[in-house]
């Protein structure tokens, strides 16, 4: 390789990395993590407000690593603390992985911001939005329902 190209290649690699970073985390996430990010954002909004409850709509993206057909969301119970509990699972019902594992993507990131008093599960049609209801309970924000 011509040594004169190395500075150019380094600049191009740096620029590409910067663009990916500036494009937002959604470029490198999956269906469960994107939902967890929406839960994080809504929980922060609710915590700052005087409201007792807040509902938000999540529209699952098919790319990257998202649902393309009917889907299921399971938010596992976290009874004792925000640091313990079960995962948030998202499954594309028509996918092979869903058939094998019962989900496609999982995360526990949402537990940094909310509690889940009981396991919530819902199935939705392809392209259908998911409504998530949050509520204040003392000092905590809870995921109270999925619709």
Q: Two tokens at 26? A: 């959604």
> What pLDDT is recorded for position 64?
86
Q: Two tokens at 32? A: 């469960």
Q: Over the Cα atoms of the chain, what is R_g?
A: 19
> What pLDDT is recorded for position 78?
87
> What pLDDT is recorded for position 5?
59
Task: Give the least confident one: 18-22, 116-120, 131-135, 143-147.
Answer: 18-22
> What pLDDT is recorded for position 137?
96
| Chain segment 49-106, per-residue pLDDT in tens | 999 999 999 999 888 888 999 999 999 998 665 454 589 999 999 998 898 889 999 9
> What pLDDT is recorded for position 110?
95
SS3 content of the chain, % helix, strand, coil (to 5): 35, 25, 40
| Chain segment 3-41, per-residue pLDDT in tens | 665 665 456 655 555 444 444 445 579 999 999 999 999
Question: What are the Cα distances from residue 136, in Å, to 78, 98, 103, 113, 117?
Answer: 15, 33, 29, 12, 12
How many Å apart are CA 134 and CA 132, to the nearest integer? 7
How many Å apart are CA 132 and CA 52, to the nearest integer? 14
Among the listed residues 132, 137, 144, 115, the one whose alpha carbon sits nearest the alpha carbon of residue 35: 132
> What pLDDT is recorded for position 34?
97
């Amino acid at each position: 390789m011509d040594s004169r190209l190395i500075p150019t290649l380094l600049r191009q690699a740096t620029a590409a990395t910067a663009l990916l970073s500036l494009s937002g985390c959604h470029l490198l996430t999956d269906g469960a993590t994107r939902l967890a990010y929406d839960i994080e954002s809504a929980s922060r909004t609710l915590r700052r407000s005087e409201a007792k409850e807040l509902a938000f709509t999540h529209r699952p993206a098919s790319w990257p690593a998202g649902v393309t057909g009917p889907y299921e969301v399971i938010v596992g119970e976290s009874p004792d603390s925000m640091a313990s509990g079960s995962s948030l699972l998202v499954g594309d019902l028509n996918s092979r992985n869903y058939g094998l594992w019962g989900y496609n993507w999982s995360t526990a990131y949402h537990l940094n911001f909310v509690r889940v008093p009981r396991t919530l599960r819902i199935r939705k049609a392809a392209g259908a939005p998911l409504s998530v209801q949050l509520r204040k309970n003392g000092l905590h924000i809870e995921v109270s329902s999925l619709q």
